[in-house]
A and B are shown apart, each in its own frame.
Chain A
Amino acid sequence: MKEHWSDRLQRFDRRWIFLVMGLAVVVPLFFPLGLPAKPDRMTKAAFNAVDALPEGARVFVSIDLDPASTPEIEPFFRAVILQLKRKNAKLVFATTWYQAPPLVDRYMRETIEVAIAPAGTAGYSGLNDRPYRKNVDYVNLGFRDGKGAIIQAFGSSLRLAFDNHADDGTALERIPMMRGLEKLADFDLIVLVSAGSPGAKEYVQFVGTRERLPMIAACTAVSTTDLAPYFQTGQLIGLVGGMAGSAGYETLVGKPGAGTAGADVLNIGNIVVILAIVFGNVVYFAGRYHRRQRGAS
């Protein structure tokens, strides 16, 4: 007898779904929906934490990501850096991801050493920022490997962890702004740009909780559920989850960028997946119903 349509659909080539998904990602790039991105509560908390910083606060930024995860959290990074520079914060950067260093160098060139929002930036309302000078306004400590252990080491002594020199080889004691910045506890805020492990979770486990550090984290959407409990317990005072979160943060800082645009495309992608689920279930139940019928007859 002829095969029921549901059975045929049960084993249809998944590459069709791939194709649809591909279109769902590419097409909106050219025809955006333009839905506004709103920050969620955890994102707002992160923004408030930075907003509450005093002028010239000292902030430790850990950039733990690889090229793959940049779409999700790079927008947050650019936004928060702008926000910090508007406060003239003294910034200290480090990374625990070996995939990161060249990326970090690029960020230094593209976001720290130039003004992100110079006067007359289109679609920008906030204060303008200024170019930062290396080892004067900011220090890049560079990369150290060692997962939780090295993060614990940051907590006890940055000098030891980084063998007493910044990434460009300058001895730390010769950098005025590093005075009194011995360990993580000496900073007013710790910003974790964290794409996975090691990252926000390890910071919470190995130093954050122990030293009661004020930490905010931006993570991939995936890790959001992982880190949400820490936000609930206050081990993290702010949490920016994935592209949507980044988009929200951009809105708060007042300079929409890649995150906002991406989040817009995200909608279509989500619809596709939801349809895939619904479709899958229709097929499934139709098949089950059909089998029942046949069983009955």
Chain B
Amino acid sequence: MRAAALLLAVALAATVRSATAAPAPLSSLDVQPLPNDSGQHLHVTWTRTAAPAPGTATVILRARPGAATPDLAPGRKLTAGDALGPWTVVGVLEAGELDLTDEIEADTSYLYAGAEVLRAADGAITEASPVTTIGPRAAEAALFHRQRTAYLVIVLAIGLLIYWYVRAARTKKDLYIRRLPGVDAIEDSIGRSTEMGRPVLYVTGLEEIQNIQTIASLLILGYVAEKTAQYDTDLKVANYYPLTMVVAEEIVRQGYANAGRIDAYRPENVLFITAEQFAFAAGVNGIILRDRPATNIYFGTFYGESLLLAETGFLTGAVQIAGTAELTQLPFFITACDYTLIGEELYAASAYLTRDPVLLANLKAADAFKIAAMIFIVVGVALATAGVFDLGAKVFP
């Protein structure tokens, strides 16, 4: 009885097998290293003689050299990452794709194998084509990313321009810089605070020390500290990040030292409030309302709290000077502050203030690059519109 059933089953299985013919092997399999690669990727491509029958999947495997041809016996279930003896399944692709990129160990070469398989509903292999193998192949780690040449050029160009103008500045003094009213206002307002006997509040913005705006702000802080030291006015510095506070302390001390008033320097006036945006805003509002500074200077990166600070400052009738490259906050500073440095003006400020030829040279370099960029854009537009070729896409792949 049972034997009969078994026979029947075998017979059925046989008919099923004969019904679905084994798929044809891959007509070709190739493995190539990728350009501009970290040395951890290989690009596997293959071709078929005919379009794959529906339900056909391509299995790609990888192994160290010396491995025997993998055995894709019926009944196996394969998913990417599985081990098959010495072989590792790289991928099982259904959609009839013709390539994949494999991530591998660096500085090691691999064999690759590929085959077409038919699978049952549960993913188990029912039929497999003969296996095509190739290799060994190893990835190539590039030492220069060709597609990024343009950016290197940009950086080098700016660098060289700085160098060039620094030399120019050394030879001929006083390069012209257009006026920045916001910056001119700083010293007057410090003077005003002195007359009113009220402190100056300086906020270094809401970004870490690594943020360029924060750095620009700290550069200006040096100058402000020097002035307040000369005028003998209290300077309170509110910091959002402790690391910024550490640096701000150094800078303020130096400012006082430059003014020869190191004795007047009080480290407890350089505060770390907290690094939670609105707790910080609340804290600074507290300072504005209770210490009543006559000058509030907001230089650096600011976010939502900008208006919160500026409006509170406006209430206390303080002179407010703001500067940020944070586009979204500029309108609020513009509406609620007396003076606002827009975007790049913030970076220009330190140069403008110190009149240090090196810094001025820096500005000049930036300006020169702007011209270059504008020319590039105009030419690019002209060429592209004329349909000659797409300069932008050529230069920045």
Contact = CB atoms under 8 A, between A and B. Distances in A.
A and B touch in the complex (CB under 8 A): yes
Interface of A: 66, 68, 98-99, 147, 149, 179-180, 182, 196-197, 222-223, 225-226
Contacts of B103: 180, 182
B260 interface: no
Interface string B272-299: 0001111000000000000000000000
Q: How large is the interface on B (under 10, 10 to 19, 20 to 34, 35 or more residues)?
A: 10 to 19
A179 B79 CA distance: 10
Given A99-B276, A182-B103, A196-B304, A226 B210 contact: no
Contact of B327 (A66, A147, A179, A225): A225
Contacts of A196: 303-304
A223 B103 CA distance: 37
B74 interface: no
Contacts of B116: none
B328 A197 contact: no
A179 B301 CA distance: 39
A66 B206 CA distance: 15
Nearest to A210: B148
B208 interface: yes
Contacts of B208: 147
B210 A180 contact: no
A147 B277 contact: no
A165 B287 CA distance: 43
Nearest to B103: A182
B276 A222 contact: no
B81 A222 contact: no
B395 interface: no
B80 A180 contact: yes
A223 B329 CA distance: 10
A222 B80 contact: no
A182 B38 CA distance: 14
Interface string B345-382: 00000000000000000000000000000000000000
B358 to A, nearest CB: 28
Contacts of A182: 103
A198 B112 CA distance: 42
27 contacts: A66-B277, A68-B277, A68-B278, A68-B304, A98-B275, A99-B276, A99-B277, A147-B207, A147-B208, A147-B210, A147-B211, A149-B210, A179-B80, A179-B81, A180-B80, A180-B81, A180-B103, A182-B103, A196-B303, A196-B304, A197-B301, A197-B303, A222-B304, A225-B327, A225-B328, A226-B327, A226-B328
Interface string B81-99: 1000000000000000000
Given A99-B276, A180-B81, A226-B328, 9 more contacts: A66-B277, A68-B304, A147-B208, A180-B80, A196-B303, A197-B303, A222-B304, A223-B328, A225-B328
A175 B202 CA distance: 49
A58 to B, nearest CB: 12
Contacts of A197: 207, 301, 303
Interface in B287-344: 301, 303-304, 327-328
